[in-house]
Structure formats: structure tokens, C-alpha cells
Amino acid sequence: MTQSLTHVSVSPALFANRPAPVRFGRAGALYDLVVTVAFATPWTATAMLDLQRRIHTVLGLGGAPLPEFGPVELMFLSMMGTVVTMWAIARLRHPITDLIAIDTVGRVAFSAWMVVALASGASALLAVFLVLELAWAVLQAAGLVAQWRGRRMSSSRTATAPAPAPA
């Protein structure tokens, strides 16, 4: 059975009346989709890299502008863009707690690699993506912790409730 991207709608119902991890997980997935879909092909990735180079130059940002990518670098960038786009669609369609938890850990790892790149002289434009990545990690983690605490409190109330009297 094939599904098309037209099934991933952005209606208020996508986020309404959902537990925090689902709301934050879906919102984070939507952010990932918007930010990474342009990197999913070598042609669109080239255009995005050119745009980022222009922004770096126009704003006079610190650090080195992005270098020109060769065919192999573009291939790896497009493969990563494709994987992250597909991962975002999977989380939009199936926003389960396990996937959101995995994504939250991934956001922390991505953030760490961004910090390494910035410390090594990458364009300061990367800091914008770092702040957003960390914000999504914190929101998703907060939703997961709230859900975990709610389940824990609910199970402790059930465990301490008196047993019903025999009939």
C-alpha cells in the first residue's frame, strides 16, 4: 500500500487535544520537514547552500562560509536530506513516544556536532540552526518527562488504592 505526501496535512487537528510529547514531536517533525526537504536532492541542496553562502556574506557573519561541494559531498548531503525528510514524515504519520524519544536523543547529537563545527570555525549562521535544534530537543524532552511523570503518578495511585471488598 502506498501513501503520498498529500496525507501529511498541517491542520490544527494535527496538534489539537494530543499529549505534549505528540504535539511537540509532530511540531518538531514538521520543522524538520520544512528545513530539510530542500536538501533531499543535489539540485535543491546546491541552491540552499548558495543561499546560505549569500546570507553569510551579506550579514558579514563570523566563521568560514560554506565551501563549494563536489559531487560526492552533494551525494552525502542529499542522502542525509532524504533520510531526515523520510524520518520527519514517519514521525508526522506515527508520533509515538518511542520515535519522539529517539528523535530527541538525535537532536542532542546533532546539536553536539553543530557545536564542534562552530568551535572549528564554521559560519556563525549555523548558530541559528543550533538554537532551534536545542529548542526542539528541550520541548520534546519536557513533553516526554511530563508524560512519564503522569504515568508514574497514575500507576502509583493505582498501586496504593485499596483492593475492592469481595462481593
The answer as to whether 70 is a domain residue is: yes
Q: What is the pLDDT of residue 149?
A: 82
The answer as to whether 163 is a domain residue is: no
The answer as to whether 155 is a domain residue is: no
The answer as to whether 44 is a domain residue is: yes
Q: What are the pLDDT digits (tens) for 69-110?
A: 999 999 999 999 999 999 999 999 998 999 999 999 999 999
The residue whose grid cell reads 568551535 is: 119
The answer as to whether 5 is a domain residue is: no
The answer as to whether 43 is a domain residue is: yes
Q: What is the pLDDT of residue 23?
A: 86
The answer as to whether 98 is a domain residue is: yes
Query: What letter would DSSP give residue 122?
Result: B
- The predicted model scores a pTM of 0.77
Total domains in the chain come to 1
Separation between Cα atoms, residue 100 and residue 159, nearest integer Å:
28
Dihedral sign (CA 38, 42, 45, 51):
negative
The answer as to whether 111 is a domain residue is: yes
Q: What are the pLDDT digits (tens) for 26-78?
A: 999 999 999 999 999 999 999 999 999 999 999 999 999 999 999 999 999 99
Cell of 36: 530539510
Q: What is the pLDDT of residue 12?
A: 54
Residue 23 domain boundaries: 18-149
